[in-house]
Structure 1
Amino acid sequence: MTMLNRRTFVQLAGTAAAGAHLQTLTALTPQAPPQPTAANNNIQFALIGAGIQGQNDTRVALQVPGTKLVAVADCYDGRLTHSKELWGNGTPNNVDLFTTRDYREILSRPGIDAVIIATPDHWHKQAAIDAMRAGKDVYLEKPMIHLYSDGPEMISTARSTNRILQVGSQRVSSVIYAKAKELLASGAIGQLNMVSARWDRNSSLGAWNYTVPPDASPETCDWPLFLGSAPKIPWNAEHFFQWRKWTDYSSGVAGDLFVHLFSGTHFITGANGPTRAMATGGLRFWKDGRNVPDVLLALFDYPQGFNLSLRVNFVDGGEESEGFLFTGSEGTLEITGNAVTVNRVPLEKEPGYTISTFATATQQQFLEQYRQKYASTPTGTPYAGVEKFVAPHGYSDSYDHFHNFFSSVRTRKQPVEDATFGFRAAGAALLSNLSLERGSIIHWNPETMKLT
């Protein structure tokens, strides 16, 4: 196989027959490499929320040329210590890393251009608004909102402050999803009528049972600051470190995983969101005190003429599995891992017939008329083919998403996933929670981004 650079697809094209020959073709034009950045022209950024996702985000962000981490905020002292171990003096980042429990101390510091916000969901709105008002650009982890009332204020603040706000659903920057979008728009599978997506898991960590450190206590953790707008309860280490399991801080599987599936669907189809949602599910296995479901299924109607079905199952009996299946009138398009596969099955040109129960003379009469009408149409099953497009080994859509964010910071151009896109993805995802809670169908206007 021809070696291609990291921003190029490898197309593996063949037929549906077993043992088909595979050809290697370039399928996408490579993006221009990042421009060299002078040493004194770094984008200096801070991390707010140094948990699992926050630290992973920072590792990727620092791979983008011309970036420098200068500060970290987190409510747990152990993560501040580890951030210095990873990125302070004597490390490749080699800076006098400022750390604090209170992110507002970071926002008041000069020389910080942008922040990565990877806090629990219930802090997303306030932290993002505070950062934008302090003149910082924002990379905000998904879901953008925790409550529907969060969205309009976040959008208006981004506009009024002229700050960049990019939401962290990296599929919007993925070459895999860009290829899927191109294929769908080209009519590769005909008229789209249904999208099915899933994100299943089958492990304790996958179900958010994150490790509680042995030194966890009110002395090492700023519990009042963590709670913020959430109900005030006594210290609880599980709530602090496993916050995704409770609605006071989290949006459940809808906000953690459905929102990725919505971002992908909206990017590929160009849709703004569904008009109707219905969901079911519940706590089927992880009955450990959490109050969010571990199984959630939902159906959505889109005004473009297709339906979306989503599923998350935290007890699926197998390995973690994520994927999409786009079904059209002339084939399917499937995304799994770092590949997109198109299975073309064009509709037959002839309608066919069922005449065996008619009188013999009637059958003959019909056949004469039928052959005259379709005499020029080739007979037999139309050609069916399979094409598979695979990203290069080691490809990272997270890197591309951060590259796009920092490019927006430099150019002041709107990001690939701005606040409006982020609100529409999260707003659609949270319809599932609302439907499950009310036990009814929920209506949504994707243009005005309001419940109806």
Structure 2
Amino acid sequence: MENNRRKFLRRLGMAGAASALAPAAFARQEAREFESMRRENPMPADRELKIALIGAGIMGTQDMNTALEHDNVQITAVCDLYDGRLESAKEKWGNHLFLTKDHKEILKRADIDAVLIGTPDHWHKQISVDALNAGKHVYCEKPMVHDVSEGKEVIDAWRKSGKVFVVGSQGISSLGNEKAKELLAAGVIGDINYAEGFWARHSPEGAWQYLVPDDASEKTVDWKRYISNTTSRDFDPLRFFRWRNYLDYGTGMSGDLFVHLFTSLHFITNSLGPDKISAMGGLRYWKDGREVPDVLLGMFQYPDSEQHPGFNLSLRCNFVDGTSGSTYLKIVGSKGSMDVKWDEVVVKTNQQTASDDPFMEAQARMRGAAADRKRILPPNEMVYKVEPGYKGAHYDHFGNFFRAIREGGQVTEDPVFAFRAAAPALLCNDSYFQDKFIQWDPVNMKLV
């Protein structure tokens, strides 16, 4: 492991000036406390892509609306198990749509290049595999799978298909994540040793108390198809419209929200994941029959690796936060820390002295300045913000997906990367419900 650590330090050192001049970079900006982040305009779309939506709920609809902001993208079909969503789809996107409650009818169509999967989590694996086997490109909402046992099947189907598959943890495509990755590699905060993430919500919709339509019944919902791959039950509109609250269909707070934080952390650090996982929490407020906690704390151990030194991670989620809370990822190193959001990065370092800055020291020697002369110090806090007009991570995530399809390229959040982000989130649930530590092999992606 010590050899791996040396490789990591050498990798940072290869940047030479980049690693050594982290404070100097601040100084050359004349001690500004703000710098904008920007996205270059993508190449224009060169051919039309026809896409279908499978699962037209809240996130599926948002995904499709964002996808359609891109040039030369057309929606041709929608699949959902509730009549009301199919009717709404036609109102939003046009009478030309092919509508169905059977996702396999979508996959048979030759006029569809790619599918967006926005179904409850328990259908992600099967629809993804079916779509890949049918020769479709896939955008699947996170988490990629409902259980860690499903990961290999999706990865194998993707590798065999030769198609583009991306998972919808959109922060990975954000300017904030990209800047944080660049700063960490440049050694700005030194060696990582700790990270923490937080996600808080309080509003009913944010706590999964989604609206249940007045006409919800077995006449308007294909309940039998919905539960066909899980436990047989009598029709329950709460289990259909508020599915995240139930283990048969959802993956709890960690599968919904921790997975975003894992995705960003792994992208920024190049990590393959933790090897030890534990969780605690409880149902503190939303005592509405749900099966998952509304306060969850996860602790994760990341081993020494070629990608990074060993570090610890703490994640928290609270659906009972009366302040509405905040969402962030903090990465702490030996020289400072970064607070990472999708559109902002705040770098904080220990108070610098002139002798800490090799650039400033070199300039002073060139000028022959007196040893006791006072000097301008680099700032110990730097804020990077996106420029006005930035369309956001969600837009860019789809842009990366469409570009990979058109150019035969790859995406960062492919099934291997996505499974390594989903697995610790899902195992966090297992730790909570089984009340024990979970051992995970992040390299070979399997339980120990």
Scaled by the length of structure 1, the TM-score of the pair is: 0.84
Q: How far apart are the structure 2 equivalents of 1:320 and 1:250?
A: 23
The answer for the alignment partner of 1:108 in structure 2 is 108
The answer for the alignment partner of 2:126 in structure 1 is 126
Query: What is the CA deviation profile of residues 196-235 of structure 1, one whole-angstrom value per residue up to 9, with x for unaligned ones?
Result: 1010111211110000011111001110111121111001
Structure 1: gaps spanning 5 or more residues: 1-12, 90-95, 351-375
The answer for the alignment partner of 1:332 in structure 2 is 337
Q: How far apart are the structure 1 equivalents of 2:220 and 2:298?
A: 40
Q: How far apart are the structure 1 equivalents of 2:115 and 2:325?
A: 31
The answer for the alignment partner of 2:40 in structure 1 is 31
The answer for the alignment partner of 1:449 in structure 2 is 445
Does structure 2 retain, via aligned residues, the 8 Å contact 1:331–1:346? no
Query: What is the CA deviation profile of residues 337-366 of structure 1, one whole-angstrom value per residue up to 9, with x for unaligned ones?
Result: 62111012168899xxxxxxxxxxxxxxxx
Q: How far apart are the structure 1 equivalents of 2:411 and 2:204?
A: 35
Give the secondary structure class of the aligned counterpart of 2:412: coil
Query: What is the CA deviation profile of residues 282-311 of structure 1, one whole-angstrom value per residue up to 9, with x for unaligned ones?
Result: 111111101011111011111131111000
The one of 383, 387, 395 equivalent to 1:399 is 395
How far apart are residue 22 of structure 1 and its match? 4.8
CA RMSD of aligned residues (A): 2.4
The one of 378, 384, 387 equivalent to 1:389 is 384
How far apart are residue 153 of structure 1 and its match? 0.5
Give the secondary structure class of the aligned counterpart of 1:149: helix
Q: How does 1:33-432 map to 2 (within 5 A)?
A: 33-37=42-46, 41-89=47-95, 96-303=96-303, 304-336=309-341, 338-345=343-350, 384-393=379-388, 395=390, 396-432=392-428
Does structure 2 retain, via aligned residues, the 8 Å contact 1:34–1:65? no
Give the secondary structure class of the aligned counterpart of 2:384: strand
Structure 2: gaps spanning 5 or more residues: 1-24, 304-308, 356-370
How far apart are residue 147 of structure 1 and its match? 1.1
Residues 394, 56 of structure 1: CA spacing in aligned structure 2 closer, same or farther, 3 A cutoff? farther
Q: How does 1:433-448 map to 2 (within 5 A)?
A: 433-448=429-444
Give the secondary structure class of the aligned counterpart of 2:148: coil
The answer for the alignment partner of 2:4 in structure 1 is none
Q: How far apart are the structure 2 equivalents of 1:27 and 1:216?
A: 46
How far apart are residue 34 of structure 1 and its match? 2.8
Report the AA paired with residue 131 of structure 2.
A
Q: How far apart are the structure 1 equivalents of 2:352 and 2:273?
A: 29
Larger radius of gyration: 1
The answer for the alignment partner of 1:354 in structure 2 is none
Give the secondary structure class of the aligned counterpart of 2:218: coil
Larger helix proportion, structure 1 or 2? 2
How far apart are residue 383 of structure 1 and its match? 5.7
Query: What is the CA deviation profile of residues 378-399 of structure 1, one whole-angstrom value per residue up to 9, with x for unaligned ones?
Result: 999x865211011133531000
Scaled by the length of structure 2, the TM-score of the pair is: 0.85
The answer for the alignment partner of 1:366 in structure 2 is none
Report the AA paired with residue 94 of structure 2.
G
Give the secondary structure class of the aligned counterpart of 1:296: strand
Q: How far apart are the structure 1 equivalents of 2:440 and 2:238?
A: 34
Q: How far apart are the structure 1 equivalents of 2:409 and 2:162?
A: 10
Does structure 2 retain, via aligned residues, the 8 Å contact 1:60–1:402? yes
Does structure 2 retain, via aligned residues, the 8 Å contact 1:196–1:310? yes
Does structure 1 retain, via aligned residues, the 8 Å contact 2:189–2:338? yes
Does structure 1 retain, via aligned residues, the 8 Å contact 2:344–2:386? yes
Report the AA paired with residue 51 of structure 1.
G
The answer for the alignment partner of 2:365 in structure 1 is none
Identity of aligned residues (%): 46
How far apart are residue 417 of structure 1 and its match? 0.6
Residues 249, 174 of structure 1: CA spacing in aligned structure 2 closer, same or farther, 3 A cutoff? same
Q: How far apart are the structure 1 equivalents of 2:374 and 2:339?
A: 29
Q: How far apart are the structure 1 equivalents of 2:110 and 2:91?
A: 23
4+ aligned runs moved over 4 Å, structure 1: 20-28, 346-350, 376-380
Query: What is the CA deviation profile of residues 249-294 of structure 1, one whole-angstrom value per residue up to 9, with x for unaligned ones?
Result: 0110011000000001000111010011111011111111010111
